[in-house]
Structure 1
Amino acid sequence: MVNYPNGSPNIKNNESMISLKKNKISYGDRGMKLENEINQSNEFYLIKEEAVIHKKPTPIQIVKVDYPKRSAAVIKEAYFQKSSTTDYNGIYKGFYLDFDAKETNNIKSFPLKNFHEHQINHMRMCDNQGGIVFTIIKFVKSNELFLLEFKYLKQFWDRMNNNGKKSISKSELQKYGFQIDYKLNPLIPYLEIIKEIIQKEKLNE
């Protein structure tokens, strides 16, 4: 069975929707998967009209479908049409964002094997075009979050390909990345860091 990403919310009344989300988004959600946490955060950003960022749908080819009853269909067999790139993309105040979300059960380091060559190549091309490209990494056991810009991720990736370390240590993430603290709304306030990155880039122009 294949699950498809949820569509965008039908925003008829922003204030009532935001009120509803305040009741649903809480610190008690911290144990959920990173993807769900980001989806929830993106929905809040969308409702507040701060950014339009969505999870990319995974392209699949459906081969076999069963119809146990007239009103329902069950996908029995499907294949990925091509390799996926990154998890999310969208726009924030005129800036294109492209990023991936990764989790690890490791305590002190993030294994680079969690990335694939085609993902790094995609991120490199988006970065070359002037997009804001990054990854959000979650250490599941300690519930710690880090945002790492692609300019540093590619350095660690190239280091690995030159027979160097095959992981990024937590201390390196603390040095080169940004630690994200969970909040109420949005749950993962990663756009606060993106705003800081944009401001730094403007100062360096």
Structure 2
Amino acid sequence: MTIRYPNGKKYVPIQKIGIQKKIDLSFSNRGKSLEDELNETNEFYLSRGIAVIHKKPVPIQVVNVNYPARSAAVITEAYFRTPSTTDFNGVWKGKYIDFEAKETKSETSFPLQNIHDHQVEHMKSVSVQDGIVFFIVKFTSLERYFIVPYENFEKYWERMKTGGRKSITLIEFEAMAMEISPSFNPRLDYLQSVSTMLTTSYNATERQEEV
């Protein structure tokens, strides 16, 4: 099946590179994509009545369909109808949750080119409405996970927009983000980190003064 962006450009999926597994308590999860890990976590939250958070479906417009049999239809060409906003959204304790999940193979920084203007605008709008909005970033080769409140991320985005550095360094993540320690079940208990951020006014300024 061929899928195209709204501008007609063909969508080419990124090939995943396997990660050598190490033996530890969570070895069965190593090599999984961040999206898979979050989907499993969200299923855990849902099954226990903790939260209702799902991966957003990407709307597509079907262009061509083949019917190899009466009971089967195969989509051969389709377009993304609109640019995507963020990856996940839902409700937790009566609060609206909205976040983007990103991965990087770099061991030293996260490239901001992986994020798009319309995504940042969407997150800003959610923040203005007092929604809980953040990024979850995985450094795949390091098996390290960080949760970054939108308010903390914004200054690094503005830094890039004004001609500054086009990435956020690992050292900056350690200073202004909260690290999530993976576990067995749920795999990534990110809502525990969100709860900590909400109760401790976790922000970049305070963390940087402590470092």
TM-score exceeds 0.5: yes
Q: Report the AA paired with residue 100 of structure 1.
A: E
- Does residue 123 of the first structure (1) align with residue 89 of the second (2)? no
Over residues 14-35 of structure 1, what are the superposed CA-to-partner deviations in whole Å (9 max), with x where a residue is unaligned? xxxxxxxxxxxx5411210110
CA distance in structure 2 between the aligned counterparts of 1:197 and 1:142, rounded to whole angstroms: 24
Shift of 1:200: 2.7
Greater than 6 Å deviation, 4+ residue runs: none
**1:84 paired residue number:** 84
**2:40 paired residue number:** 40
**2:106 paired residue number:** 106
Over residues 82-113 of structure 1, what are the superposed CA-to-partner deviations in whole Å (9 max), with x where a residue is unaligned? 10000000011011110000011111000001
Q: Report the AA paired with residue 80 of structure 1.
A: F
Shift of 1:197: 1.8
**2:185 paired residue number:** 185
Unaligned runs of 5+ in 1: 4-25
Q: Report the AA paired with residue 159 of structure 1.
A: R
Shift of 1:2: 8.0
Over residues 37-94 of structure 1, what are the superposed CA-to-partner deviations in whole Å (9 max), with x where a residue is unaligned? 1011000100011000001110110111112122222110000111000000001101
TM-score, normalising length: structure 2 = 0.82
Q: Report the AA paired with residue 112 of structure 2.
A: L
**2:54 paired residue number:** 54
* SS at structure 1 position matched to 2:30: helix
Q: Report the AA paired with residue 74 of structure 2.
A: V
- How well do the aligned residues superpose, as a CA RMSD in angstroms? 1.4
Q: Report the AA paired with residue 184 of structure 1.
A: F
* Inter-CA distance 178–60: structure 2 relative to 1 (3 Å threshold): same
CA distance in structure 1 between the aligned counterparts of 2:58 and 2:43, rounded to whole angstroms: 19
* SS at structure 2 position matched to 1:31: coil
Unaligned runs of 5+ in 2: 4-25, 202-211
**1:23 paired residue number:** none
Instruction: Indicate the percent of aligned positions where both proteins have the same amino acid.
Output: 47
CA distance in structure 1 between the aligned counterparts of 2:175 and 2:145, rounded to whole angstroms: 14
CA distance in structure 1 between the aligned counterparts of 2:83 and 2:35, rounded to whole angstroms: 18
Q: Report the AA paired with residue 65 of structure 1.
A: V
CA distance in structure 1 between the aligned counterparts of 2:2 and 2:51, rounded to whole angstroms: 28
Shift of 1:198: 2.2
